[in-house]
Every structure is written in C-alpha cells, then in structure tokens.
Amino acid sequence: MLFDERPKERREDLYDREKEIEELKRSIGRPLILLTGIRRIGKTSVLRVALSELDIPYVLIDARSLRRNYSRSDLFRLIAQGLSGSLDKIKDLLMGIRGLRVMGVEVEVSWRGSDSLSLVELFDRLNKKKIVIAIDEAQRLRGPRSSELKDAIAHAYDYDKNISFILTGSEVGLLYDFIGIEDSRSPLYGRYYVEVKLERLSREQSIDFLRKGFAQLNLRVSEEVLEVAYEHFDGIPGWLTFFGNAYARGEADIEKIKSIAVRTALEELRNMTRDNPRRYGLVLRAIAEGRKTWSQVKEYLEEKEGTTISSSVLSNILRSLEDMSIIKNYEFLDPIYREACKLLQ
C-alpha cells in the first residue's frame, strides 16, 4: 500500500525511487555510502527496500532512539538488536566472539570489563562474508561515546574489504560531523564516500503518487484537491502519505490536515532546539517571516531581544539550523516547518 505510514520494505509499496535504489545497490562493495535527505523524504524506506533486495546479508542498526550522551551500554544494546535482526543469516559468523553470545533468536553482548565485546573484532568477523552494515539516523551516534564506533568503522574501512557501511541521516550536517570527513582529528578524515541523495518528488510525481495511493483505496479524488495538497506538502513523501491517510479517513478539510501536520512539526522543532529555545525560535521566526539576509535576521533578533547580538552567536545558531537540515541559505527545506516556525513563541 502506497499510503502505509510505516517505512516501506517492499518495492511495490514504494513510489518510484528506482534510480536511488539502483545507485545504492550498485555501490555495495564500496566501504562507505551515505544516504541523505530531509526528514520524511523516504530514507528508511529506500534503505529497507534496497537491503531486502540484496543477495548478501545485512545488519540494520537503528540509532534513532539513541538519547544524547548515550552510554556504552545503550550503544551495545543497539548493536545487539541489529545483530539479532539478521541472526539467521549471520549466526555462523558470530560464534566464538569474545563478549557475544547467541541465545536462541537473540544476541547478547557484554559491554563491561575484560569480557567486553570489541567492535573491531566484531567487524573483522562479519568481514568473513560480503555484508552490509546499515546505520539509520547515524548522526545520533555523535557524542562523547562515538569514538569507539568511529575507530572501528575506520578500521573496517581500511581492512575489512567485505563490509560496506550505509549510513543515513536527516540532519545532514550532523551526519558529516559524525563521520568527520572534514575533521583532521577524526579517524575517518579524508575518506572517500558515495552519497545517494533523496530529493523531493516533482509536482507531477507527487500528484501521481497521491492519485495512485487513493486508487488503491478505491477513492477518486479531484485533481484540484491533489494540486492543493502538492502546494502544501511540496513533494515530501512523508507529508503526502500523511495527507493521503487523513483525507482517506474522511477529513475533507485540507487546511485542517495541514494544521495537524504543522503541529507535529512544531513539536519536532521544539525538541530539536531545546538547547536554546528562545534564540533558535527568534531566528526561525525571522526566516519564516521572510528575512533573507544575515543583517535582516540580526536586526530582527536585536529588535526582539532589545540587546545587541554578537556575530558569533548568530552564526552558530544559523550553522546549527543548517546542520539539522531545517534551513539552507535562509530558506526552509520543508514548508510545513516554515509554517510551524511562525507559531514559535
């Protein structure tokens, strides 16, 4: 079903993305592949569909739920989950690794003391076969605990020729930051990677996607409604899916559907900017209301705060917002986020 709200796993449920899936599959064998794109663009879906069509095993680690300042045990739990998910295909590779036990259909790992699992050893073992290690929302792995995993990935990059890593991230700047390709102190500094970028659907594709999704539900929806939905949701498949579901459930008021989407985005924004909600909020509102240059945003901020704002403070905030893929060059990457920012206090 095209309108299924979960990430898709089968190609028949996915609209288009043929080219990107082929690109991903073609790149398997390279050490490092990044799959990037804004929130709700379909990264997890494209990743899962591509993985499901491979004829080699894969391990999928979902870092989405990782909290900030995660602990070593959080990380190792995530890895154990990922390994457990593919156990039937990789069981033989996991036998006899220090700190790792296969218990029925699950993998247990130790993270403490001399009996602890070594990620380098784990990767060296997985390397016995051609394999993909995919990490969804890998930018979540940033933080004080990231160096152990990064070192292990850098080791695998150099020595484990059978392993391909695929990392996805919606906060693209933070993902680059995590792998540290441009940071001379990072173990992955200067390494080559392939990047597959997911862009939004075109106007024609968006309308076609909606039409086909409604047809699967035996619903005929006027072209006008489809056009308006495209105008609001701008070719972002996650929002189009959201719209399709709400409309199919009987909510005929598109503005109302949009306002629910905006509220969802507002929650996400609050969560993302909780370090300094007031300043982030003001900058986002300035841009949402049409300020398009550095000096216009600065003036807005100073006017609202009643103080002068140092250039470095403003440039840090703008850089963070770009790193989180909320804005680029004083434009929002998602129109629903722009609407949400108008509601920020």
Ligand X SMILES: Nc1ncnc2c1ncn2[C@@H]1O[C@H](COP(=O)(O)OP(=O)(O)OP(=O)(O)O)[C@@H](O)[C@H]1O
Length of the chain: 345
Identify what 142 binds: ligand X, Mg ion, none; CB under 5 to 8 Å per kind. Answer: none
From 33-41, 70-78, 290-298, 321-329, give the range in contact with ligand X by CB under 6 A: 33-41
Q: For the CB of residue 26, give the shortest distance to ligand X in the complex, in Å.
A: 19
Out of 57, 82, 235, 237, the only residue in the binding site for ligand X (CB under 6 A) is 237
Minimum distance from CB of 121 to ligand X (Å)? Answer: 31
Interaction between residue 61 and ligand X (CB under 6 A): no
- Residue 128's φ and ψ, nearest 5 degrees, are -65, -20
What does the alpha-carbon distance between residue 63 and residue 78 come to, in Å, rounded to a whole number?
Answer: 7
Phi-psi sector, 316: left (phi>0), alpha (psi -120 to 50), beta: alpha
Picked from Mg ion, ligand X, none, the partner binding residue 244 (CB below 5 to 8 A depending on kind) is none
Q: What track of x and - describes contact with ligand X for positions 123 through 162 (by CB under 6 A)?
A: ----------------------------------------
DSSP state letters, 27-77? HBTBSEEEEE--TTSSHHHHHHHHHHT-SS-EEEEEGGGPPTT--HHHHHH
- State the minimum distance, in angstroms, from the CB of residue 136 to Mg ion: 6
User: DSSP state, 139?
Assistant: G
Task: Please state the closest distance from residue 174 (CB atom) to Mg ion, in A.
Answer: 14
The verdict on 43 binding ligand X (CB under 6 A) reads yes
Question: Can residue 40 be called a binding residue for ligand X (CB under 6 A)?
Answer: yes
Q: Which of 44, 139, 164, 273 binds ligand X (CB under 6 A)?
A: 44
Burial 142-155 (b: 16+ CB within 10 A, else e): beebbeebbebbbe
**Interaction of residue 244 with ligand X, rule CB under 6 A:** no
Decide if residue 42 touches ligand X (CB under 6 A).
yes
Closer CB to ligand X, residue 140 or residue 279? 140
Only one residue has tokens 């979540």, namely 140
Q: Which of 63, 133 has the CB closer to ligand X?
A: 63
φ, ψ for residue 111 (rounded to 5)? -120, 0
Q: Indicate which single residue of 21, 24, 28, 41 sits in contact with ligand X (rule: CB under 6 A).
A: 41
Contacting residues toward Mg ion, per CB under 5 A: 43-44
Residue of 57, 99, 180, 238 that binds ligand X (CB under 6 A): 238
Q: What's phi and psi for 53, nearest 5 deg?
A: -95, 0
- Per-residue mark of binding to ligand X, 261-290 (x: CB under 6 A): ------------------------------
DSSP-based three-state secondary structure for 106: strand
Instruction: Specify the residue, 21 or 131, whose C-beta has the smaller distance to ligand X.
Output: 21
Separation of alpha carbons 119 and 125, rounded Å:
10
Answer with the entry of Mg ion, ligand X, none that 238 interacts with (C-beta below 5 to 8 A by kind). Answer: ligand X
- According to DSSP H, which parts of 127-234 are helical? 146-159, 172-179, 203-216, 223-233
Return the range that interacts with ligand X (CB under 6 A); candidates 24-32, 34-42, 301-309, 332-340. 34-42
Within 13 A of 198's CA, how many CA atoms are on the CB side? Answer: 30
The answer to whether residue 17 forms part of the interface with ligand X (CB under 6 A) is yes
Residue with tokens 């990059």: 157
Closest CA to 247 of 219, 209, 266: 219
Q: Which is nearer to ligand X, 233 or 300 (CB)?
A: 233
Six-digit token pair at 200?
């939004």
For residue 2, state whether it binds ligand X (rule: CB under 6 A): yes
Binding of ligand X at residue 200 (CB under 6 A)? no
Tracing tokens 């930051």 back to the chain, one arrives at 177
CA atoms of 292 and 42, how far apart (whole Å): 29
Q: Which residues would be at the binding site for ligand X (CB under 6 A)?
A: 2, 4-8, 14-17, 37, 39-45, 170, 237-238, 241
